[in-house]
């Protein structure tokens, strides 16, 4: 699925632009890494694409169709937010399976996600007892469990060691879905891959 963002502007406070006429294009199957300093609007951009924020102006097209009027769950997007809220009272396993069960899918087994993300030891543990890195992996699994056609990842490598970063990176590339990954820090996991297209988003003051 392709993504086109055209002249997107967003303000949290009237008269103070966070994103100003921002445009971006991602082709089907492409993995694009958007790098920019803290506060430049990366998370805001992802929230607008996912339909969690309403842009002041601009247009978002998914597979050539405008999605501005579509609800988040109608956009076919999987998002791993920077501060992803999880269901604290549920286990790791139930958190990962949640999007499936919420859609009435009682069968699909999530053990392959648990295994590959090395969450076996905490699968039956409540998320409220998990470490930062475990929570990030649960958030990642939740974002991909419905096989989204477009994947948005906000700082997916924070709190993860090199091995887990590589594991997540391999998963992203195996899934092969169109992906927009945002980060303030282009770490080695991302710089070593030649297949990744890297773009930047300037600082807030540059508009």
- Residues interacting with ligand ATP, by CB under 6 A? 12-13, 18, 36, 38-44, 82, 184, 204
In the bound complex, what is the minimum distance in angstroms from residue 43's beta carbon to Mg ion?
Answer: 3
Using DSSP's 3-state secondary structure scheme, residue 94 falls into helix
Q: Which residues pair with 62 in a beta bridge?
A: 3, 65
Determine how many CB atoms are found less than 10 A away from the CB of residue 49.
25
Q: Which does 38 bind (CB under 5 to 8 A by kind): Mg ion, ligand ATP, none?
A: ligand ATP
Q: Which two tokens stand for residue 33?
A: 């890494």
> Using CB under 5 A, which residues numbered 42 to 81 contact Mg ion?
42-43
d(CA 83, CA 3): 23
HSE of 30 in the Cβ direction (CA atoms, 13 Å)?
15
Kindly state the smallest distance separating residue 8's Cβ from ligand ATP, in Å. Answer: 12
Closer CB to ligand ATP, 3 or 114, in the complex: 3
Mention every residue, 6+ apart, whose C-beta is less than 8 A from residue 107: none
Closest approach of ligand ATP to the CB of residue 82, in Å: 6
Nearest to 163 by CA among 143, 186, 189: 189
The least CB distance from residue 56 to ligand ATP, in Å, is: 13
Q: Give the nearer residue to ligand ATP in terms of CB position, either 40 or 77.
A: 40
22 has which bridge partners? Answer: 8
**Interacting residue with Mg ion among 2, 17, 82, 118 (CB under 5 A):** 82
**Whose Cβ is closer to ligand ATP: residue 41's or residue 55's?**
41
Binding residues for Mg ion (CB under 5 A) = 42-43, 82
């Amino acid at each position: 699925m392709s993504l086109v963002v055209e002249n997107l502007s967003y303000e949290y406070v009237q008269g103070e632009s966070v994103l100003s006429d921002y445009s971006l294009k991602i082709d089907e199957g492409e993995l694009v890494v958007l790098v920019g300093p803290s506060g430049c609007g990366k998370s805001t951009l992802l929230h607008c694409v996912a339909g969690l924020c309403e842009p002041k102006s601009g247009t978002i097209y998914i597979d050539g169709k405008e999605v501005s009027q579509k609800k988040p769950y109608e956009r076919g997007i999987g998002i791993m937010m920077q501060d992803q809220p999880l269901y604290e009272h549920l286990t790791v396993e139930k958190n990962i399976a949640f999007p499936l069960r919420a859609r009435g899918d009682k069968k699909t087994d999530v053990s392959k996600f648990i295994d590959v993300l090395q969450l076996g030891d905490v699968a039956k543990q409540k998320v409220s007892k998990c470490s930062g890195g475990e929570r990030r992996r649960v958030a990642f699994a939740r974002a991909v469990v419905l096989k989204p056609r477009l994947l948005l990842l906000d700082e997916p490598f924070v709190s993860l060691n090199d091995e887990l970063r590589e594991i997540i990176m391999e998963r992203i590339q195996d899934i092969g879905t169109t992906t927009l990954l945002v980060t303030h820090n282009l770490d080695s996991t991302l710089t070593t891959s030649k297949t990744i297209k890297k773009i930047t988003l300037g600082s807030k003051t540059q508009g």
